[in-house]
A and B are shown apart, each in its own frame.
Chain A
Amino acid sequence: MFVQVCLYFYCKCLWRCLKFVVRKLTGQCELQRICYNTKPGAARTMKIEASLKGSKSKRLQTSVSVQPDAIEKTIDDIMELKRINPDINPQLGVSLQACLLQIVGYRNLIAEVEKLRREMYDSENPQHEEMLLKLWKCLKPNSPLKARISKQWCEIGFQGDDPKTDFRGMGLLGLYNLVYFAEWDTEIAQQVLSDSLQPKYSQFSKAEWEKKKLDKAIGYSFAIVGINITDLAYNLLVSGALKTHFYNVAPEAPTLTHFQQTFCYLMHEFHKFWIEEDPLDIMEFNRVREKFHKRLLKQLQNPEMALCPHFAASESLINM
């Protein structure tokens, strides 16, 4: 124990000395070196975040948790503290600001998502009810819902005749995600829903079907899986695993829309993964989900990783 403590302080001391020497040699502080040597995106922002959090200055440590409107002032403070002349290094302030916007934005996104998750679905609330009905309309435009309490809800993968009990621990977040998927990615959402209702191997002939005893094979419940994938996305966000993705694709602060787009991507990917995995039946859901989760975690360890590039930063920001 004692040896470990000594070793820790020794390493820390050594690291500080090293930083001091490099600073004297290059004439640049760590933040500058990161910004000049690492290209923008997750690689840079994560290094900046680690550097700020690990700093011995209180001001730098707290800079990762300031409010977004205080970022400019914070950058000025950092520049002053590090004795960097903004006129000689005009690019540094801009780069640091972009990083800080992402870092602070990620923290705020967690808070926003958590607030939605904690809000329980309430069938007395007209806004909640409206969203639920919208989900139906987007997924089943040609088949009107006959009653609010109806077995029809099972057709889009809820468990019973009233979806309100299915949101549970994911609260409104689950509903928001499903509605976003159905509204903005309608074609894919409808395709995934329709596939999920198919017995497996619909491409096989009836004889092959019987041979493989596929009468048992059912798809999965679309809405329930959506709520489970919401849980997956939520866990990735809160654990910080999604940082790589968001820092690479959100040019400034990641927003709820980014989170929902990520959810759409995850739904689509999970669907493909489910087909690839070829599980015997729905009872294998948690095994497949766990495997999918592990694969994502591994992918997200790569700092270049962006889960869905279709909302990548604009060119001008990339060149920053």
Chain B
Amino acid sequence: MISLEVRILLLGLDNAGKTTLLKQLASEDISHITPTQGFNIKSVQSQGFKLNVWDIGGQRKIRPYWRNYFENTDILIYVIDSADRKRFEETGQELAELLDEEKLSGVPVLIFANKQDLLTAAPASEIAEGLNLHTIRDRVWQIQSCSALSGEGVQVRLWRRLAVPAGHL
């Protein structure tokens, strides 16, 4: 069987849970995570295809570097801390800017409403509404509730269909 390679870009504000998600996907220990300076990359084998996941730090100072990683992205994963309501506006703005990027045009986007294990987490439907996701017309998108901490909702099979338009998976 031919092994297909998929380039996945993992973005979001700092403390959204990107690195935890990455390590969860790679079935690695998640108890020693530190804030990401720069980026992490991992290759994950899953059901005959190879996911190359790029996890870029979300600190404001690092966000200008995100654009250096846009090229050849097959899937954009945007992670949101569902319990950090104070920053919903900021995260919405960053996402809107990403969706406007020429280099990311047409790239399917998966939004993870992370930290659903917290009592104060907003449900995915509320976040979808707040971010006006229904106005996205130029690409395939999906919002998925998850808890990167427990691993619930992060399974690849749940979002495989995203990559179909890109000719992968």
Residue ranges of A at the interface with B (Cβ–Cβ < 8 Å):
154, 159-160, 165-166, 168-170, 174, 218, 220-221, 224-225, 227-228, 230-231, 234, 281-287, 289
Chain A interface helix/strand/loop/mixed: helix
Find out whether the CB atom of A228 lies under 8 angstroms from the CB atom of B37. Answer: yes
B166 CB to nearest chain A CB (Å): 25
Q: Which residue of B lies closest to A231 (CB)?
A: B34
Residue ranges of B at the interface with A (Cβ–Cβ < 8 Å):
14-15, 30-35, 37-40, 58-62, 65, 68
A231 CB to nearest chain B CB (Å): 5
A159-B35, A169-B33, A169-B34 known; A281-B14 Cβ under 8 A: no
Complex interface: chain B residues within 8 A of A225 (CB): 37
Complex interface: chain B residues within 8 A of A170 (CB): 32, 34
B13 CB to nearest chain A CB (Å): 8
Chain B interface helix/strand/loop/mixed: loop
Find out whether the CB atom of A286 lies under 8 angstroms from the CB atom of B39. Answer: yes
Q: List 10 A-B contacts (CB under 8 A).
A: A160-B59, A169-B32, A169-B33, A224-B35, A227-B35, A281-B65, A282-B61, A282-B62, A282-B65, A286-B40
- Contacts across chains A and B counted by CB atoms under 8 Å: 66
Q: Which residue of B lies closest to A165 (CB)?
A: B15
Find out whether the CB atom of B33 lies under 8 angstroms from the CB atom of A282. Answer: no
Find out whether the CB atom of B37 lies under 8 angstroms from the CB atom of A220. Answer: yes
Find out whether the CB atom of B34 lies under 8 angstroms from the CB atom of A168. Answer: yes
A160-B14, A160-B15, A169-B31 known; A283-B61 Cβ under 8 A: no
Separation of A224 and B15 alpha carbons in the complex (Å): 12
Find out whether the CB atom of B33 lies under 8 angstroms from the CB atom of A221. Answer: no
A159-B59, A160-B15 known; A282-B32 Cβ under 8 A: no
B54 CB to nearest chain A CB (Å): 11
Q: Which residue of A lies closest to B19 (CB)?
A: A168
Complex interface: chain B residues within 8 A of A281 (CB): 65
A281-B65, A283-B39, A286-B40 known; A221-B59 Cβ under 8 A: yes
